[in-house]
Structure 1
């Protein structure tokens, strides 16, 4: 089964903070990657009630279906690769069976046929390696909303937390309660 534990730290940024980080850290060497997250949910928000989220990420001409679930160390992500036709089927309401993701959905007592396409969030992303972590700047657009975000991904929670807090302190950025993209997406829905 293609799974991983994601340990990440997030902070919403102002445009000025975003530009400052972009100009003071070595992001000039980082290519801007365009990606689109296509989100799915049931009519009764069963994924949300389970603390889970389901998306297809479209990036570099490829498609990855990802189910995110709560895990004591972060988030458990279950992945499956999709073809263009698979993605189109999912979006049009006919989910293509992917054994590992479907198994996890069954564990949550969610029928894949009950999932509905909710829309897309587009992100321009830049990534750099930073003190044994992955540092990410995201500029996202969804439902007429625009936001800026700093993400730091680490393999060790204590190290990631230390680097994250020091980075915010060094750049005089207040730590802000930051919802994940899918929650922000649903909150902004018309």
Structure 2
């Protein structure tokens, strides 16, 4: 188990900027693929508290169950390895939910027996570490659409934001905080109903 503070900045990109940044930062790096299976109750109890629960599947690692909870700065992540193999529309078995996550759900009066896997998003990710932070380029596919995103993970909010702004300036981008992946997934899902 790992509980981590996550401070990251994000920017959606058009495909041309994505390709330019990919060449600049990752000319010889192949992406790895991961699929996030998103979990909530049918009435979106988690989303109503700005939380997200997912199971991430990667072929080179064990599956990971993660709860993201908003904090004063960034997010608190509760990460647990799991052998559970998620399937869309399946009820999440309560016995796989670790006590730390169950305690958070209980604090917010979220009914764990109602947790259901509502869909998935597949990301082809590139990562590189710089002196200022971790630069991540994501190409994501979900529900018949795709998007491109820059993420910049840092340890310090103020220094990180300054370095992130410098990256954006290099590519003549104006920072606009996007919806996160789970929000984009559910917005797309809702538009299809």
Q: TM-score range with shorter-chain normalisation? A: over 0.9
Please name the residue that 1:81 is paired with.
81
SS across alignment from 1:87: coil
Q: Matched residues in 2 for 1:126 and 1:13: separation? A: 14
Q: CA RMSD in A?
A: 1.6
Please name the residue that 2:48 is paired with.
49
1:144 Cα deviation from its structure 2 partner: 0.5
Q: Matched residues in 2 for 1:39 and 1:116: separation? A: 8
1:29 Cα deviation from its structure 2 partner: 3.5
Kept after mapping to 2: 8 A contact 1:128/1:134: yes
Name the CA shift for 1:7/1:172 in 2 (closer, same or farther; >3 Å): same
Q: Matched residues in 2 for 1:113 and 1:106: separation? A: 11
Q: Matched residues in 2 for 1:35 and 1:117: separation? A: 16
What is the correspondence of 1:1-190 to structure 2 with a 5 Å cutoff?
2-25=2-25, 27-59=26-58, 60-83=60-83, 86-88=84-86, 92-93=90-91, 94-95=93-94, 96-189=96-189, 190=192
Q: Matched residues in 1 for 2:100 and 2:30: separation? A: 32
1:109 Cα deviation from its structure 2 partner: 1.2
Name the CA shift for 1:65/1:90 in 2 (closer, same or farther; >3 Å): farther
Q: Matched residues in 1 for 2:3 and 2:88: separation? A: 21
After TM superposition, the structure 1 stretch with the greater mean CA deviation from structure 2, 148-157 or 59-68, is 59-68
Gaps of 5+ in 2: none
Aligned length: 187
Q: Matched residues in 2 for 1:33 and 1:21: separation? A: 17
TM-score, structure 2 length as denominator?
Answer: 0.91
TM-score, structure 1 length as denominator?
Answer: 0.92
Kept after mapping to 1: 8 A contact 2:55/2:86: no
